[in-house]
């Protein structure tokens, strides 16, 4: 007998739902789920955040009591979420941990229930979250299968049974299905005939052995339209919950499918031979739900003002990092919710800004150090005959700048690497192919304005000014670019192996533009191959990606979506290295939560590896007019970390 499961995601914070509409949503969308459970005897999974549960309890406590009763009768199942629906790979570990523990505490208080399964918020997954989910007590997770297939290039294989973390930890996975839920939505809305939907499910049943995720998505799409788009259709005259129940009954009669709970569906999946795998890849370090246009950059670098909003949240986090009061962490989790970062209504955006107005901005950390001797402080400067290159050197650093190309970095080397260059410019002709017949500079900036058909770079003549600070030799250049003025500052440490590059754009307003800067070309010839990229993505421990694979996060998905992927980089650090050494790029996300993207290509035995830092990406959520923040990047030599379970911290909740 074929089996399937149903899961409804409840989210009163849904970006397009006005606060005044919440009682209507409860009546039109949430009560019908409980009625469906009673009338059909289908053990439906209900996933909701702690915040949504709290709001429902305030607006309609009878619903909460009814849900609690059905849970006690084992007629449905609560699926865990978090206090708010935040994007875990974009959020520091302590915030993720608080987000889970706050929700679990409220589930217990209001429902006397502890869920055993967790739904990955927005299906935005990172491997280091597996340890987090296990730490707070979950026994399995629910994740969308379609983008995992893309990430793993796993289209024609059985799906993994378990998700591997970054240590030896693994959790069983119950797979949801974007196409299945979208087909059911269309049938319920009347966009496709019911018979077409039933035939589609029958075809899927013939090719699938595991329980089918007949529906695992939003509840608010049935019998309710927020009016977000002019293209939104009217609700079906039959009543969409009535129509849904009729479709499910026809599905049972026509196919003989048995509906089981999500937990029982996972138990059946666990009967398969174990196939534990890491569910992310260099090409898709953070797989998400649905089609490619829903990649993680919609929450990281698009929206109304997501770079700025994430920066504000990081600033709040740095102030709270040793605080054990649950109230302030609860507020921070709410501010980090994904819904503030997509199609948020003007009313709710203003409410978000009001909450943020109480947050003090973090200032740059002090870098005061004990001065070294005059010999160690000395900066040597040599200029070539044509005044194109500045060759600068201290006892720790050798740096060559190209003044003809906007003070780009031609080479950067540190003493601990025997002054072999870490960052370089790969000049035209380096690759023996016309496909790569360009100069690949380091330290540059690219701004693309599709609406104006403009591409702006900083590859122009500069006349830099050399000045002195307590701990740094400072080189400043000013460039008058189309639509922007750029101040570019390079700081060479007098006493340590550190180089800083900063960018200040004026006016500091984000227009309809793709803005990528701090573009660094890594010299892979100085690393053992395959090299490794290290980054933190919401977990307590770093994730490692082999650079034997190729990727291009900067590649546009369509004319409307400017990029395909990125890294979470929740600690403001990303490193590339081998088992002996690494180059580390670091920044303060509380000052600018820039988003790192990777291009990694090979031609024969040659490598092209570049990291870009984005201040703006375009997609359907983008709105012009946000903040354009200053960005400073520090470059240092170092080594990669090792993931050890003993390094995972805990947190105590103080009510």
Retrieve residue 91's tokens. Answer: 């959020």
Distance from C-alpha of 504 to C-alpha of 361, rounded to nearest angstrom: 18
**What would the CATH number be for the domain defined by 3-290?**
3.20.110.20
Is the Cβ–Cβ distance between 382 and 399 less than 8 Å?
no
Q: Inform me whether the pLDDT recorded for 167 exceeds 80.
A: yes
Question: Which residues are bridge partners to 174 per DSSP?
Answer: 142
Q: Band of the pLDDT at 615, cuts 50, 70, 90? A: very high
Q: Which of 374, 149, 188 is nearest to 284 (CA)?
A: 149
Architecture of domain 374-644: Distorted Sandwich (2.70)
Average pLDDT of the segment spanning 318-326: 83
Contact 612, 602 (CB under 8 A): no
Dihedral angle over CA of 46, 260, 286, 158, nearest 10: 180
pLDDT reading at 367 higher than 60: no
What is the distance between the alpha carbons of residues 85 and 538, in angstroms, rounded to a whole number?
14
pLDDT value of residue 185: 97
- Would you say residue 230 has pLDDT above 60? no
Which whole number is the average pLDDT over 75-96?
98
Domain ranges of the chain: 3-290, 306-362, 374-644
pLDDT of residue 292: 72
Q: Are 245 and 222 in contact (CB under 8 A)?
A: no
Q: What is the pLDDT of residues 385-403, one digit of tens each?
A: 999 999 999 999 999 999 9
Q: Say yes or no: do domains 3-290 and 374-644 share a fold.
A: no
**Edge-first strand listing for the sheet containing 117-119:** 117-119, 140-144, 170-176, 162-164, 276-277
- Residue whose token pair is 């978090």: 82
Q: Which helix (H) or strand (E) holds 55?
A: helix 50-59
556/619 Cα distance (integer angstroms):
10
- Note the Cα 121 to chain centre separation in Å: 11
Per-residue pLDDT tens digits for 29-77: 999 999 999 999 999 999 999 999 999 999 999 999 999 999 999 999 9
Q: How far apart are CA 609 and CA 601, in angstroms?
A: 6
Category of 373 on φ-ψ map: left (φ > 0), alpha (ψ -120 to 50) or beta: beta
**606 vs 147: which has the higher pLDDT:** 606
Asked whether residue 375 carries a pLDDT value surpassing 60, the answer given is no
Q: How much is the average pLDDT of 329-342?
A: 94
Residue 643's pLDDT band (cuts 50, 70, 90)? low
- Mean pLDDT on 212-230: 86
Question: What pLDDT, on the 0 to 100 scale, is given for residue 218?
Answer: 96
**What span, in angstroms and rounded, lies between the C-alpha atoms of 26 and 154?**
39
Q: What is the pLDDT of residue 655?
A: 42
H or E element, residue 615: strand 606-616
Q: Look-up: residue for tokens 């103080």?
A: 654
What does the alpha-carbon distance between residue 338 and residue 357 come to, in Å, rounded to a whole number? 19
- As a whole number, the mean pLDDT across the chain is 92
The per-residue pLDDT for 358 is 65
User: Whose structure tokens read 């990029």?
Assistant: 563
Asked whether the predicted pLDDT for residue 321 surpasses 90, the reply is no
Contact 490, 499 (CB under 8 A): yes
Can you tell me whether residue 180 is helix, strand or coil? helix
Task: Please give the pLDDT value at position 90.
Answer: 99
Taking the alpha carbons at both ends of the chain, their separation in whole angstroms is 48
SS3 239: coil
544: closest CA among 461, 642, 425? 642
Closest C-alpha among 399, 441, 594 to residue 516: 594
- Phi and psi at 126, nearest 5°, equal -135, 145
pLDDT score of 648: 67
Nearest Cα neighbor of 27 from 251, 183, 222 is 222
Three-state DSSP class for 626? Answer: strand
**pLDDT for residue 653:** 53
Q: How do residues 238-248 score in pLDDT, each as one tens digit? A: 999 999 999 99
Residue range 504-548, pLDDT digits in tens: 999 999 999 999 999 999 999 999 999 999 999 999 999 999 999
Other beta carbons within 10 Å of 4: 25
Question: Rounded CA gap, 505 and 174, in Å?
Answer: 46
Reported as a pLDDT band with limits 50, 70 and 90, residue 15 is confident
Predicted confidence at residue 92, as pLDDT, reads 98
- pLDDT given at position 418: 95
Contact predicate 303/345, CB 8 Å: no
pLDDT at 636 over 50: yes
| 155 confidence band (pLDDT: 50, 70, 90) | low
Looking at residue 359, its pLDDT comes to 56
Mean pLDDT of 302-329: 92
């Amino acid at each position: 007998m074929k089996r399937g499961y149903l899961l409804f995601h409840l989210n009163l914070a849904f970006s397009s739902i006005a606060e005044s509409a919440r009682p209507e949503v409860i009546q039109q969308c949430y009560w019908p789920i409980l009625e469906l459970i009673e009338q059909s005897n289908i053990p439906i999974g209900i996933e909701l955040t702690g915040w949504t549960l709290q709001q429902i309890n305030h607006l309609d406590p009878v619903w909460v009591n009814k849900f609690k009763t059905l849970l006690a009768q084992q007629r449905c199942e609560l699926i865990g979420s978090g206090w708010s629906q935040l994007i875990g790979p974009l959020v520091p570990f302590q915030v993720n941990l608080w987000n889970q523990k706050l929700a679990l505490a409220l589930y217990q208080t209001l429902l006397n229930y502890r869920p055993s399964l967790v739904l990955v918020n927005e299906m935005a997954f990172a491997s280091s979250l597996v340890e987090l989910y296990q730490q707070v007590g979950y026994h399995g997770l629910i994740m969308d299968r379609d983008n995992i297939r893309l990430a793993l290039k796993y289209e024609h294989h059985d799906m993994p049974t378990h998700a591997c973390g970054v240590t030896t930890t693994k959790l069983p996975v119950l797979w949801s299905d974007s196409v299945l839920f979208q087909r059911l939505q269309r049938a319920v809305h009347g966009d496709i005939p019911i018979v077409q939907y039933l035939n589609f499910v029958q075809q899927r049943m013939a090719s699938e052995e595991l329980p089918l995720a007949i529906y695992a998505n939003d509840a608010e799409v049935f019998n309710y339209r927020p009016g977000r788009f002019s293209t939104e259709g009217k609700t079906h005259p039959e009543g969409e919950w009535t129509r849904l129940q009729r479709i499910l009954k026809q599905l049972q009669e026509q196919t003989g499918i048995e509906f089981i709970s999500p937990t029982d569906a996972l138990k059946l999946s666990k009967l398969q031979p174990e196939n534990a795998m890491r569910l992310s890849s260099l090409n898709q370090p953070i797989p998400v739900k649905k089609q490619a246009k829903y990649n993680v950059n919609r929450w990281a670098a698009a929206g109304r003002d997501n770079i700025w909003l994430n920066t504000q949240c990081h600033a709040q986090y740095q102030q709270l990092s040793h605080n054990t009061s649950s109230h302030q962490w609860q507020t921070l989790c709410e501010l980090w919710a994904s819904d503030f970062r997509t199609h948020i209504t003007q009313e709710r955006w203003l409410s978000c800004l009001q909450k943020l107005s109480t947050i003090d901005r973090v200032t740059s950390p002090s870098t005061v150090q004990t001065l070294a001797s005059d010999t160690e402080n000395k900066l040597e400067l040599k200029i070539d005959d044509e005044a194109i290159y500045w060759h600068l050197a201290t006892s720790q650093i050798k740096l060559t700048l190209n003044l003809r190309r906007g003070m780009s970095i031609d080479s950067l080397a540190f003493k601990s690497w025997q002054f072999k260059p870490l960052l370089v410019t790969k000049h035209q002709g380096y690759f023996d192919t016309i496909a790569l017949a360009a100069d690949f500079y380091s330290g540059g900036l690219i701004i693309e304005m599709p609406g104006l058909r403009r591409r702006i770079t900083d590859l122009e003549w500069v006349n830099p000014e050399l000045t002195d600070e307590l701990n740094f030799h400072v080189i400043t250049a000013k460039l008058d670019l189309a639509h922007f003025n750029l101040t570019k500052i390079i700081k060479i440490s007098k006493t340590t192996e550190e180089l800083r590059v900063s960018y200040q754009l004026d006016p500091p307003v984000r227009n309809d533009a793709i803005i990528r800067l701090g573009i660094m070309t890594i010299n892979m010839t100085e690393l053992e191959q395959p090299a490794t990229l290290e980054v933190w993505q919401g977990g307590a421990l770093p994730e490692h990606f082999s650079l034997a694979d190729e990727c291009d996060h900067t590649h546009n998905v369509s004319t409307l979506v400017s990029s395909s992927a990125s890294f979470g980089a929740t600690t403001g650090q990303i490193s590339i290295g081998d088992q002996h050494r690494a180059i580390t790029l670091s920044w303060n996300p509380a000052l600018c939560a820039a988003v790192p993207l990777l291009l990694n290509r090979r031609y024969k035995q040659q490598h092209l590896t570049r990291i870009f830092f984005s201040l703006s990406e375009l997609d359907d959520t983008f709105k012009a007019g946000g903040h354009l923040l200053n960005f400073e990047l520090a470059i240092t030599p170092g080594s990669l970390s090792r993931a050890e379970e003993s390094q995972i911290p805990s947190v105590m909740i103080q009510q």
